Amino acid sequence: MNSNERYTRQMALPRWGEEGQQRLRSAHIAVVGAGGLGCPALQYLAAAGVGRITVVDFDRIDVSNLNRQILFSPADVGKHKAETACKKLRLLNPEVELIAVNEPFTAELAAGLLPHCDLLLDCTDRLHARYAISDACVRYNKPHIHAGVYRNEGQLAVLNWRGGATYRCIFPAHPSSEHTTSCEEAGVMGTIPGMLGVLQAHEAIRALIWPHEVKGNELRLINLQNNTMRNIETARSMSYGSDAAPVREISADELITQLEQGKTFTFVDVREPFESPSPALWNALNIPMSSWVPEEVATRVSALKDCIIFCQHGVRSIAAIASLPLEIQANITNLTGGLAAFKIAEANKIAQ
């Protein structure tokens, strides 16, 4: 088979051709995480003819992974994800050089890997890994494509693109483990990470073929419960090497204390109407992310006193605040960990 014969359909696209295919053939992409996001991303990157792919994942395949990690079969249970993924991908496209790294992503690993990569895909489901990836990509000046999934929702962003926003710019606060939920706890439909992983591969290919079309200051929020999508504008705002954080935070415990002391707040709920109701006493103003227009919201919240914006886990609310003008952000506080953290803190206080 002619080397380019398998790629004729994509090479027929405008502004792709032999030059575009050569860009893919010469590229080196690192994919961190070979799970629900990583599996479909890896398949499409390999099928497209990316020359070298390094797969980083220390985990082993569990039977509960098989509903969404579609590279694997029951016979693979117990094997290393990275190694097994590379083995399967070599069958898909023998022309691609595949490197398996059965280790967690660390600063030491990044030092040996990132200088030799063109870009990185963050396909992890661990928050500490996302921050480590963001910091490493800033240090070595590499773009990375982030995706995250929670139940029927997903988010996607091309980060650190030519000086654009980073993960820490959008999510400056690192939630504690008690305020985060895993797929095991929250549940996940296999198609959701599948679609987000394909979008990551799509953005990676675009970055290599059509870099002028990449939008590096945008967070895409996808809700597949009601099939809506919103794009939130972002910007490089984090000062690395300092402790400055552009978004003010209040913990659930501190909020409970202040409410008990008679402090009053104006609450804005960015969750969707179909989600569980917020506390009645909060009398929260609901502005869902599916209809969030920063310019309109800025006008509405600018006059609010002691405004706290919240969502279910404190992630969407940070993105919402980050989309507003800096002068508006200065008067708004994010509820760390969201409503879920508040309910936990409230239950713990009652139990004392």
Mean pLDDT across 303-326: 83
**CA dist., res. 197 & res. 38, Å (int):** 6
CATH 1.25.10.10 matches 5-233: no
**CA dist., res. 168 & res. 79, Å (int):** 33
Indicate the residue type of 122: D
Q: Is 311 a catalytic residue?
A: yes
Whole-number mean pLDDT of the chain?
87
Confidence grade of residue 179 (pLDDT, cut at 50, 70, 90): very low
Check pLDDT > 60 for residue 244.
Answer: no
Check pLDDT > 80 for residue 272.
Answer: yes
**CA dist., res. 132 & res. 111, Å (int):** 12
| 352 vs 96: which has the higher pLDDT | 96
Percent of the chain residues topping a pLDDT of 90: 49
Check pLDDT > 90 for residue 199.
Answer: yes
Confidence grade of residue 255 (pLDDT, cut at 50, 70, 90): very high
Kindly name the residue from 39, 117, 137, 183 that is annotated as catalytic: 183
The architecture (CATH level 2) of 248-351 comes to 3-Layer(aba) Sandwich (3.40)
pLDDT of residue 173: 60
Check pLDDT > 50 for residue 261.
Answer: yes
- The model's pLDDT over 149-177, given as tens digits with 9 standing for 90+, comes to 887 889 999 999 988 888 888 887 655 54
**CA dist., res. 268 & res. 179, Å (int):** 19
Range in 111-120, 161-170, 317-326 the model is least confident about: 317-326
Reference 36, options 56, 62, 65, 79; nearest CA is 65
pLDDT of residue 321: 83
Q: Is 307 a catalytic residue?
A: no
Contact of 37 with 23, CB cutoff 8 Å: no
User: From the centroid of its chain, how far is CA 124?
Assistant: 8
**CA dist., res. 145 & res. 132, Å (int):** 14
Pairing of strands 28-32, 52-56: parallel
Q: Enumerate the domain spans of the chain.
A: 5-233, 248-351
The pTM is what?
0.70
Check pLDDT > 80 for residue 238.
Answer: no
Check pLDDT > 80 for residue 326.
Answer: no
Kindly name the residue from 86, 137, 307, 311 that is annotated as catalytic: 311
